[in-house]
Structure 1
Amino acid sequence: MPVRTSEANWKGDLKHGQGTVHLGSGAWEGQYNFSSRFESGKGSNPEELLAAAHAGCFSMALSAGLSGAGFTVESIHTAAKVKVELVGAGFEITGIELITEANIPGIDKETFDKIAAATKEGCPVSKALKAVPIRLDAKLV
C-alpha cells in the first residue's frame, strides 16, 4: 500500500507567523496562520484538512459497506465539522461531527443506520481519530 505525504512550512512566531501546506499529490497548496486556524481569518488550517480527509474517507467506506450489503449507491454527500477549542493553556480538537446524506434505492432506514454506524467506527480516518468524540447524523434522501 502507498504511503501518503503532505508538507507544511512555517515562518515566524505563533500569533504573527504564517505557513503553507502542500499535499503530496500536488492537488492542493494553501496558506495558513493563527487567524485562519483559531479565528475567522482567510486561509486554510489543519482542522479543515482533517475534516476533508474524514468526509472523504467516510463517504467511500459507507459506499463500500452499502455495496457489500447488496445495495446500489446512487450518491453520498458527507460534511465533517472539526471543532477546535482552547482547553486550559492550549488548543485541542474536542469533537467531530459527520453529516451525511445518501441516496440508496431500496434500503430501509434501520439497515442504513446500522451500516452507517458501523462505517463511523470502521473507516480508517475514524479509527485514527478515536481519541476524539465523533458524532454521526446520517440521512436517507
Structure 2
Amino acid sequence: MINRKATAIWKGTGKEGTGTVSTQSTVLDNAQYSFNTRFAEGIGTNPEELIAAAHAGCFAMKLSFELNAAGFTADELNVTAIVSLDPAQGAITKSHLVLKATIPGIEAEQFAEIAEKSKKECPISKLLTAELSLDAELVG
C-alpha cells in the first residue's frame, strides 16, 4: 500500500474565506485557493484544477506503461485534462482527456486501443465517478 497526503487549511466563510493546500512532497506548499479561484478568476489553484493535473499525469504515466508492455516507447505524450464542475449539482460531472502523442512505429488502431484501455485503468480514472472521455491524436 502506498499512501500520499495533502493538507488543506481554510479560514473564514465559504465565499470570503481563503485557504491553502500543501502536498507531502512540498511541490505545493501553502498554495492559495479561494472562492474566486474556484468560481471566478483569481491567483491560486482550486480542487478541480488539482484533479485535472492528477488525471492528466496519471493517464500519461499509465499510457506509457501500457505502450512499453506492447513494445513501444513514446517520444512525447502531451495530455490535457479538462475537469467540469457543475455548481448546480455540486459535482464534478466530467473529466475530458486530450492526448497528442508521438509514438514511433505504432499503428493508429493499436494506439487508439491502448489509449482507451489506459483511460479506463489509470488509478485516477478509477477514482472518478464522473463521465470520462478521451480525444486521442497520433502526431508526428
Task: Output the CA distance in 1 between the equivalents of 2:14 and 2:69.
Answer: 47
- Could you say what secondary structure the match of 1:87 adopts? coil
TM-superposed deviation, 1:72? 2.1
Structure 1 portions without partners, runs of 5+: none
**TM-score w.r.t. length of structure 1:** 0.94
Amino acid at match of 2:115: A
Q: Which residue of structure 1 aligns with residue 83 of structure 2?
A: 82
Q: Percent sequence identity over matched residues?
A: 47
TM-superposed deviation, 1:45? 0.3
- Could you say what secondary structure the match of 2:87 adopts? strand
Structure 2 portions without partners, runs of 5+: none
Q: Which residue of structure 1 aligns with residue 62 of structure 2?
A: 61
Superposition RMSD in Å: 1.0
TM-superposed deviation, 1:41? 2.1
TM-superposed deviation, 1:124? 0.5
Of 126, 135, 138 in structure 1, the residue corresponding to residue 136 of structure 2 is: 138
Q: Please list every run of at least 4 consecutive aligned residues from structure 1 whose deviation after the TM superposition is greater than 6 angstroms.
A: none
Amino acid at match of 1:104: I
1:32 equivalent to 2:33? Answer: yes
Task: Output the CA distance in 2 between the equivalents of 1:34 and 1:101.
Answer: 32
Task: Output the CA distance in 2 between the equivalents of 1:92 and 1:104.
Answer: 35
1:1-141 counterparts in 2 under 5 A? 1-29=1-29, 30-88=31-89, 91-129=90-128, 131-141=129-139
**TM-score w.r.t. length of structure 2:** 0.95
TM-superposed deviation, 1:82? 0.6
